[in-house]
Amino acid sequence: MNKTLSKFRGRLALFLSLGLCLTTLVACGGPEAPTRESRSTSTTAPAPTKLADGKYPVQQATYNDANGEYSLFLLNTPPGTPSAFRTTDLQMAQLTEAEVSGGQQNYLQVKGGKAALHLSKDSKLEYVHNVTETKNDPQTGQPQTVVVRQESSFWTPFAGAVAGAAIGNLLFAPRYYVPPVYGGGPMVGYGGYGNSYGQAVQQYQSRYQTPPAAVRNQQANLRTTGRLGTSSTRQPASGSGRATGSGFGSSTLRQSDGSSSQVDRSRSRSGFGSGRSRSGARRR
């Protein structure tokens, strides 16, 4: 009995040793995980945020001319819905006099899946401008357009005096707008508008003889490489360094009540409705 038990224990120890060796060989001899190459990344806009129909107060708004994407920070979104709303399909309209007199603040209206941003005439969107260069792709050797730096400024679509009652009436109905030409400082007005984004782009191109920055960047398959540097533009002296679009000539960049609102920086990365530029770095 003792001899049989001793033989059984010896064989069990042998099997365990063989199993351990086999496991070690598989672990050591397996192929190495491939190293991920560092490649440039496209600036194509991600899938838009889904949002149920409704009316949502807007605390922050940003426009990026890399791809024409709007990023909004909303309040009172339904449970389970993120506060950040991102889309490249956004209409805009100015708040009516009745809304302003009633104390209505900026809001996003979603109806039938279409989103429209309603703003007071002096509200600002943070404008992110992408400075580009043509460089050779290190992987293929072919030239490509890449973002080398981003600049942060402000765009006030509805600020200033409106030229003509007909244009004024159009401002209160949601339409597509494209910013004026970026000039390194705060931007007032718009470069083109229309009932469709294509019409707004066509009007812009007829005026400036070139497509808007977002369209040019998308056509060039704009890409980013490495870590981008950022800078914030300062408020220029009156009459200099400001891009101005159709129908606007006022230099007033404050809220309609004459005051500048300040957003909690711990919750917002841009001064929506504020006349002061950010000096901090913005991550891409």
pLDDT score, position 15: 55
Report the distance separating Cα 245 and Cα 37, nearest Å: 44
pLDDT score, position 141: 84
Local confidence pLDDT in tens for the 284 residues of the chain: 555 545 555 565 555 555 554 544 444 444 443 333 333 445 555 556 788 999 999 999 999 999 999 999 999 999 999 999 999 999 999 999 999 999 999 999 999 989 999 999 999 999 999 999 988 888 888 888 889 999 999 999 998 645 544 455 778 999 999 999 999 889 999 999 999 999 999 999 999 999 999 999 988 877 765 555 555 543 333 333 455 555 433 322 233 333 333 333 333 344 465 444 343 334 33
Report the distance separating Cα 54 and Cα 112, nearest Å: 10
Report the distance separating Cα 185 and Cα 16, nearest Å: 74
Domain boundaries, the chain: 46-244
**Closest to 272 measured CA to CA, from 63, 15, 14, 2:** 63
Report the distance separating Cα 157 and Cα 171, nearest Å: 10
3-state helix, strand, coil in the chain (%, to 5): 20, 30, 50
**pTM, rounded to two decimals:** 0.67
**Closest to 43 measured CA to CA, from 67, 61, 64:** 67
pLDDT score, position 20: 53
pLDDT score, position 140: 85
End-to-end, the C-alpha distance of the chain in Å comes to: 75
pLDDT score, position 220: 84
Distances (CA, A) of 232 to 228, 235, 241, 246: 13, 10, 14, 25
Query: Do residues 242 and 185 touch, judged by C-beta distance below 8 A?
Result: yes
* Cα radius of gyration rounded to whole Å, the chain: 28
